[in-house]
Chain A
Amino acid sequence: MNSLKGFYRDYEPTILGTAFILLTLLLWQMIPLVMTLSKGMALFFTTPAQIVRTFFDLIEQGELQKHFYVSAVEFIVGLGLSIVVGLPLGIIVGRSPVLNALFDPFITAFNATPRLVFLPLILLWLGIGIWSKIVIVFIGALFPLLINTYEGVRNVDRVLVNVVRSFGANEWQIMKLVVLPNSLPYVVTGLRLAIGRAILGVVVGEFFGASEGLGFMIAMAAGSYLVDVVFVGVTLFMGISLILTMSVKMIESRLSRWRPEDVKTF
């Protein structure tokens, strides 16, 4: 009995958390058993079991894979481009106070604005092919990366730079020995935020100007009242988002062990 109590005490968070989720799913599943839905409501209703069934159906038909592939390409290419552009730019802007001052109004303005508002413009320029989505993903992911990178570079302790310089290091060595290691945790945080924005970009881009992709699938399904398909899509996005952000969070905390407690950004 005592060991059971001990087990519960040690794993209480996981137990309670899982129990809550399972309970919610169970209650959801049971709703049609407990109440009869009006015709109107029944149209919009689905159950977890149904969602799972639809999931497998879609895989069998090959539908899910097709859309997933397109969204994945948009995500990876867009995110990749934002890393390739954002990191070096962040480092340069971070090291140079002049460039920092010049770019700051633009960066602040673009960062505060939901990148979404540019979507009609981008659709105008690039049509509804895959590139308009890639661009939306790109500008969504770019800013968290850029800003976090340059914060990391700017926040380098002046004392450390001077220490290394006093041992005769040149600009490049200073970068390697002090700036880059110091910035790494910031960059990874930026990456985590960028991933979230990138997924958002995929979703939203595909809602409004697309003929393929998971977001397109969701939008189409909603229009045809296929609520279970909608939930398959949403759950898929949720799952991928969780997996990616958790993995990055793990890397992040590994790398941040030496940092003092910062105010976190959600």
Chain B
Amino acid sequence: MVKLNEVYQSYQRFVLGTASVIGFILLWQLLLTYIIPFNSFFITKPSLIAVAAKDLVSSGKLWHDLAVSSKAFVWGFTAAVLIGIPFGLVMGWRRRVEYALDPFLTALYASPLVALAPLLIVVFGVGLTGKAVLVFLLAVFPFIFNVFAGVKSTELLLINVVRSFGGKEKDLYFKVILPSTLPYIVAGARIAIGRGIVGIIVGEFYAASEGIGYSIALYGDTYRLPEMFVGIMLLMILAVLLTSGMRKLELTLAPWKVGQEGR
């Protein structure tokens, strides 16, 4: 009986949520069509957005922009993974390294590193490199700190268990620390994705000739609002898909951590 209640409740949430979104879109469309005077320099309607979306998709422009932005994102993000995770591991495991690096890295993490964007663009130019470096700088810290937290949270008990069975250093890393840290790595990835997207957008707003961010800014400058909204919504959808995908991954990788939420 309890199970049924739960199912009904989550079903209810889904229905309400969907109704809310649909209602919002309808309201938007109706208000601007019949009630509020429509100024195309200022606002746009869902119907126009839909048309613009169709055009951008069929002309292939949308995918092209997406591809350009994704390329820089992937480069920067991969670098962040490859550098951030080992850093976090060493920091978590060797206390002296933690003591030395922690204040420095915390200071960097807490600062708006995007502030360096103009400088990076000036140094590295307007293309792939500049954007990728920016993405890297922004995405590397969540990995470092989450992996660090993950390693530190490894139960000492489990380390002792493996040691008592004769496990050496490498056994400790592979059989205890790494599996224990995996959910933290995924949580770090989730946060890093958000920050990385910020990096791409900032980079493209500031100085670029292609890409989703660039296009959004361009459409804004040229008052092409429907197209601009298409770009914005594309990013929203991507961001939501990626982050909720990560959350699901977190849950599957760590079923024993059920009941802990991280935002």
Contacts and interface: CB of A to CB of B under 8 A. Distances in A.
Q: Do chains A and B touch in the complex (CB under 8 A)?
A: yes
B96 to A, nearest CB: 6
A243 to B, nearest CB: 10
Nearest to B143: A266
B119 interface: yes
B122 interface: yes
Interface in A131-168: 147-148, 151
A204 B122 contact: no
A151 B104 contact: no
A215 interface: yes
A62 B20 CA distance: 51
Interface in B77-126: 96, 98-104, 106-112, 114-119, 121-123
Interface stretch (A28-36, A77-85, A227-235): A227-235
A124 B216 CA distance: 12
A116 B118 contact: no
A151 B263 CA distance: 10
A117 B236 contact: yes
A241 B111 contact: yes
9 contacts: A20-B101, A44-B119, A110-B236, A204-B202, A207-B117, A218-B118, A221-B118, A242-B110, A263-B260
Contacts of B240: 108-109, 112-113
Contacts of A18: 103
A199 B112 CA distance: 7
A183 B133 CA distance: 39
A57 interface: no
Interface string B9-27: 0001100111111001000
Contact of A121 (B17, B145, B228): B228
A234 B107 CA distance: 12
Interface in A164-220: 196, 199-200, 203-204, 207-208, 215, 218-219
B110 A101 contact: no
Contact of B17 (A104, A118, A265): A104
Interface in A214-266: 215, 218-219, 221-223, 225, 227, 230, 233-234, 237-238, 241-242, 245, 262-266
Contacts of B187: 263
A119 interface: yes
A19 B97 CA distance: 12
Contacts of A222: 118-119, 121-122
Contact of A114 (B100, B112, B146, B198): B198
Interface size class of B (residues with CB under 8 A): 35 or more
Nearest to B98: A13
A266 B109 contact: yes
B185 interface: no
Contacts of A112: 194, 236, 239-240, 242-244
Nearest to A243: B110
Given A112-B194, A262-B260, A117 B17 contact: no
A106 B21 CA distance: 8
A18 B142 CA distance: 22
A221 B118 CA distance: 9
Interface of B: 12-13, 16-21, 24, 42, 96, 98-104, 106-112, 114-119, 121-123, 141-142, 145-146, 149, 187-188, 191, 194, 197-198, 201-202, 205-206, 213, 216-217, 219-221, 223, 225, 228, 231-232, 235-236, 239-240, 242-244, 260-263
B157 to A, nearest CB: 16
A238 B116 contact: no
A120 B263 contact: no
A116 B205 CA distance: 10
A120 B99 contact: no
Given A223-B118, A266-B191, 18 more contacts: A17-B104, A20-B101, A102-B20, A108-B240, A112-B242, A114-B194, A114-B235, A117-B201, A120-B217, A120-B219, A121-B220, A207-B118, A208-B217, A219-B118, A222-B119, A230-B116, A265-B191, A265-B262
A105 interface: yes
Contacts of B118: 207, 218-219, 221-223, 230
Given A230-B119, A242-B107, A104 B13 contact: yes
A117 B107 contact: no
Central interface residue in B24, B102, B115, B225, by most chain A CB within 10 Å: B115
Contacts of B202: 116, 204, 207
A106 B244 CA distance: 14
